[in-house]
Amino acid sequence: MKYRIDIERYSPEKKSYIESFYYETDSETETVANALAFLNAKSNLKNADGQDAEPIGWECGCMQKKCGACAMVVNGRPALACDSRLSRCGKVIRLSPLKKFPVVRDLIVDRSVMFENLKTIKLYFEDNADFGEETAGIAYEASRCLQCGCCLEVCPNFIAGGTFTGMASAVPVTRLFAELPAEKIKELSKLYNKHIFEGCGKSLACRNICPAKIDIEKMLVNSNAAAVWKRVFRHQEGVKKWKNQDLK
């Protein structure tokens, strides 16, 4: 199968332009990441018109959906390049950088704001965590967030630099709610309300977008329960014992 890959390119010198490349493979399992790696490995890269082309800027790490480096927009949908099988993409594939972040070069964007947001919501323990078997499951799930930014790309409420920090912070913060001693969740709840709960339009546009297949709704429901509805994750004296299973 011969694929035409249309790439939205950008460089400070050339500004924005679209350049197409051909890539041929019969493999069912090769991905957009394999195609980009192959094109860049050529000593004299030619575009679809046979003209010389610069290597394509993109970020890459594990090549197996575990590091989130290669997030981009594939045929209009945010995804990891290493999770986008060519055979499922159609003969003409359009690649563009994530739009919610400043473009650095071609498909590389500066996702610093995501990491700054995690500082804003104080995603860390001031004191020790306190958890057991009953909450390790939800903390595990929340720990799997790749910080790739795909969920932010589709979110109608997230703007880089805005108050609402989006699911890329709501998911990992679930771990803190699951592991903080009950008496310590007040401060985190305030930050959660301000930066997540109040800004989330509950559109659930981010549903089924996560490349790590994290159940975003489940994370959100758990954190909302703890932060907004004051239901703690585990047994506490005088409080009804609440189990994560209640929400399944």
Partner 1 sequence: MNKINIAGAGLAGLSAAISIAEAGFSCNLISLQPSERAQSVLAEGGINAALNTMGEGDTPEEHFQDTMKGGAFLADPNAVEGLAYTAPEIIEKLLTIGTPFQMDGKGVVLRNFGGQKKKRTVYAKSSTGKVIMTALIDEGRKYESSGRITRYPHHQVLEILSEDRICRGLKILDTYTDEVQYLSGPVIIACGGLNGFFPEFTTGTVANTGDLAAELFSEGVEFANLEFIQYHPTTVAIPGKRMLISEAARGEGGRLFIERSGKKWYFMEELYPELGNLMPRDVISREMTRVLARDDCEGPVCLDMTGISKKTWEKKLSDLREEIREYLSIDPAKEPVSVYPGIHFFMGGIRVDEGHKTSMENLFAAGECACQYHGANRLGGNSMLGAIYGGRIAAQSAMKLEHENYEEKTSYHISAEEKQDFYVSPKSAAELKGILADSLGIIRNGDDLNKGIERIDNLLKDNNLTAMEKKRILLGKAMILSALAREESRGAHFREDYPEADEAYRKTTVSRMGDGIEIYFRDIPERRESHEIQN
Q: Where are the beta strands (DSSP E) in the chain?
A: 2-11, 15-24, 71-74, 77-80, 92-96, 103-105, 108-109
Please report whether residue 190 would count as binding partner 1 according to CB under 8 A. Answer: no
The C-alpha angle 71, 170, 112, rounded to 5 degrees, equals 45
- Tell me if 214 contacts partner 1 by CB under 8 A: no
For the four alpha carbons of 42, 48, 52 and 55, in that order, the dihedral sign comes to negative
Under the binding rule (CB under 8 A), the answer on residue 31 touching partner 1 is yes
The one among 7, 170, 176, 232 contacting partner 1 by CB under 8 A:
176
Shortest Å, Cβ 89 to partner 1: 14
Cβ distance 95 to 73 under 8 Å?
Answer: yes
Structure-token pair, residue 111: 């996702």
Smaller CB separation from partner 1, 43 or 245 = 43
* Residue in this structure with the two tokens 């903080």, named with its chain if needed: 180
34 near partner 1, rule: CB under 8 A? yes
Q: According to CB under 8 A, which residues from 92 to 111 bind partner 1?
A: 104-105, 108, 110-111
Least separation, in Å, of the C-beta of 91 and partner 1? 19
Map the footprint of partner 1 across residues 110-169, applying CB under 8 A: 110-112, 115, 118-119, 122-126, 128-129, 131-133, 135-137, 139-140, 143-147
Q: Single out the residue of 11, 54, 67, 197 in contact with partner 1 (rule: CB under 8 A).
A: 67
Q: How far is CA 66 from CA 20, 73, 147, 241, in A?
A: 28, 18, 10, 35
CB atoms within 10 A of CB 154: 19
DSSP 154-221: T-SS--TTSS---HHHHHHHHHHHHHS-GGGHHHHHHHHIIIIITT-----TTTTT-TT---HHHHHH
Question: Residue 238, interface with partner 1 (CB under 8 A)?
Answer: no
Tell the smallest beta-carbon distance from residue 63 to partner 1 (Å).
5
**Which positions lie near partner 1, rule CB under 8 A?**
27, 29-31, 33-34, 37, 40-43, 59-69, 82, 104-105, 108, 110-112, 115, 118-119, 122-126, 128-129, 131-133, 135-137, 139-140, 143-147, 172, 175-176, 178-179, 213
